[in-house]
Amino acid sequence: MRIRAAGRSTSPGEPRVSATHREVLPGIHWIQECGRHRAAIADALAASGSAWAAGGRALHVPQNAYLLAGERTLLFDTLSPAAGDLVLAALDEILDGRPLDYLAASHPDVPHAGNTGRILRRHPGARLVAPRAGETHALYHLDDALHVGPEDEIDLGGLTLRFPVATFLDAALHTWMTEETTRTLFPVDWLGFPHVEGECLQRTDEIDAEIGVDRLEAFHSRVMFWFQYVNVEVVRETTNRLARAFAGYALAPAHGLVIRDDPGRYFDLMNEVVTRVAASGRGGVL
C-alpha cells in the first residue's frame, strides 16, 4: 500500500500536518488513507479527459477517519483493513499517551469499520459506539455497543457530538455526526469526491482548484448508484432542507477533502449531481 505525504509544510500557527493526519479544525484530527486504491475510478476519470484530472497526477479516492480530542477522545470510523497499521500508528501519535475513550462506527461497512477489532484490542478501554438506526445490530456484533441517534449527545469536554439521521446513505444501520463547538458535519459517504496527488489532507480552501460538479458526480454516480432510480425533485427538496439545517457547518466527509469555506455551495452542487446521475445512469463501481 502506498501512502502519500500531504505535501504541505508546517509553519508556526498553522495546523500540524503529517503524512497521514493533521489537526484540521480545533480538536478535530483528520486521518487519511490515500493512495491508488480504487484505481478504476481514477482510470475512468483520466480517460474521460476531465480537466482537473489531467496533468498526469495520480487520482485518489480517500478513506477518512476523524479523531476528536477534547478532555475525552472519540475516533469516528477506522479506515479500511488495508490501512490497519496506518490508523493505529496515527492514533499513537495523536493520542500521545492519552486514552481513546470512544470508537464510533458510522456504519458497519468494511472501509469504514474494518479496523474496529484491531483498535479495540489496542485500546481495550474504548467504548464502542454504533448507530441506533437499523434492525440487525447483532449480525454485526454491535448489539452491546452504545447506540446513538438524533436525541443523543456525547460531551467530550470542550467538544460536543450529536448524531443526526444519515439522510443519504448505503447501509440502513448508519449515523451521521456533528461537532457543535466547531460546527462540523460528518456526512460519511455523502459529499465524497476524488482528489489529485498533492491535495491529500488539504482543505478545499487550501488547494488551487475549485471543486466542481464533475468531481462529486464521479464519486456519487458510483457510491450512490441508486441516484439513477430516484425522483430527482424529492432528493433536491431533501438536500435543500439539509442545507438549511446545517447552514454554516464545515463538512468533513469520509471520502473527500474537508470543506471549511463556502460549504453551502456543495449542497447546490449535489442537487446538480443527482440531476445528472438520474439522467445518465451509474458511473461504475467503487
Partner 1 sequence: MSAPGPGPEATGVRSADAGIDAAPRDAAPSIPVTGDVAWIHECFPERGGHLHVSVYLVRVPGGNILIDSGSFYHRDRLADRIRRATAGEGIRSLILSHSDYPHSGNIPALRGEWGDFEIVASCADPEIQGLPYARRSRIGETLEVLGRPFTFLDPPLADRSHTTWVYDETARVLFVADGFGTLHPPGACDRFWGALPDVGRAEGVAEFHRQTLRWLEYVDPDRLLGTLERMFARHPVEAVAPIHGPPIAAADLDAYLGMLGDAVRAIARRRPDHTGKDGDG
Binding site for partner 1 (CB under 8 A): 1, 37-41, 63, 80-82, 105, 108-111, 113-118, 120-121, 128, 130, 134-136, 138-145, 149-151, 162, 164-165, 167-172, 174, 178, 222-226, 228-231, 234-235, 238, 241-242, 245-246, 282, 284-286
Order of strands, sheet of 184-186, starting from the edge strand that comes earlier in the sequence: 153-155, 160-162, 177-179, 184-186, 250-251
For residue 110, the minimal CB distance to partner 1 (Å) is 5
Cβ proximity to partner 1: between 204 and 239 the closer is 239
The grid cell for 128 is: 464502542
In the bound complex, what is the minimum distance in angstroms from residue 236's beta carbon to partner 1?
Answer: 10
Q: How far is the CB of 277 from partner 1 (least distance, A)?
A: 12
Q: Nearer to partner 1 by C-beta: 64 or 115?
A: 115
Q: In terms of CB distance, is 6 or 113 closer to partner 1?
A: 113
Q: Which residues pair with 31 in a beta bridge?
A: 21, 65
- Nearer Cβ to partner 1 (17/250): 250
Return the C-alpha cell found at 139: 449480525
- Unique residue bearing C-alpha cell 469499520: 113
Phi, psi of 148 (to 5 degrees): -125, 150
Is residue 232 a contact partner of residue 274, using CB atoms and an 8 Å limit? yes
164 DSSP 8-state letter: -
What minimum distance in Å lies between the beta carbon of 53 and partner 1?
17
Closest CA to 165 of 176, 154, 157: 176
Of residues 144 and 262, the one with the C-beta less far from partner 1? 144
**Distance of closest approach, residue 83 Cβ to partner 1, in angstroms:** 9
Other Cβ atoms less than 10 A from the Cβ of 221: the count is 22
The least distance separating partner 1 from the CB of residue 206, rounded to whole angstroms, comes to 26
Q: 266 to each of 17, 200, 233, 236, 275, how far by Cα in Å? A: 25, 19, 17, 13, 14
10 Å Cβ neighbour count for 125? 8
Single-letter amino acid code for the residue at 227: F
Which residues are within 8 A (CB) of 28 and not within 5 positions of it... i.e. 6 or more apart? 66, 67, 68, 159, 179, 182, 184, 252
Nearer to partner 1 by C-beta: 17 or 74? 74
**Based on CB atoms, which residue is closest to partner 1, 42 or 53?**
42
Minimum distance from residue 208 beta carbon to partner 1 (Å): 28
